[in-house]
Amino acid sequence: MFNVEMYKGSREENYELVKKQLQALLHDESNQIANLSNTSALLNQFLDRINWVGFYLMDTNGELVLGPFQGLPACVRIPVGKGVCGTSALKKETVRVDDVYQFPGHIACDAASQSEIVIPLLKDGELIGVLDIDSPEKNRFDAFDQEQLEELAAILMKHL
């Protein structure tokens, strides 16, 4: 359905295209697992220079638990406030890290990861989880990526 050859425009055009594709994937579907799974698959196909993309969801015990993802096996549970994901969850704000080894308390699920961006997923002000994206390159994510990924997360949240 999606072809990497489609993403040959400018960064702006490519992000606009993937937003339209995400809206089409999620249209008329309310199942959380299906929507998270398709979102992670779409982002994995769309984003270059990444090695992991997926979700951690809030569990009833107050921890983040691994959800749908694309990449190598990952840490299953992350306490809120720990690592990049837990920090994003605690602060309820995006955390962008240019060099994960400079981030105090970084949790290394994949030693190849060098940079990371984590976007909180909020519904009516409540944290339901986070979108986590890792890259094997330092400084992979910039302010424009952050803005666009936050918009993609907002599209997703309308369907969860």
Hey, where are the domains in the chain?
4-157
Which superfamily does 4-157 belong to?
A: GAF domain (3.30.450.40)
Give per-residue pLDDT as tens, 22-41. Answer: 999 999 999 999 999 999 99
Is the pLDDT at 7 greater than 70, yes or no? no
Q: How many CB atoms lie within 10 A of CB 59?
A: 11
Give per-residue pLDDT as tens, 101-123. Answer: 999 877 777 778 999 999 999 99
80, 141 contact by CB (below 8 A): no
Can you tell me the mean pLDDT for 86-102?
96
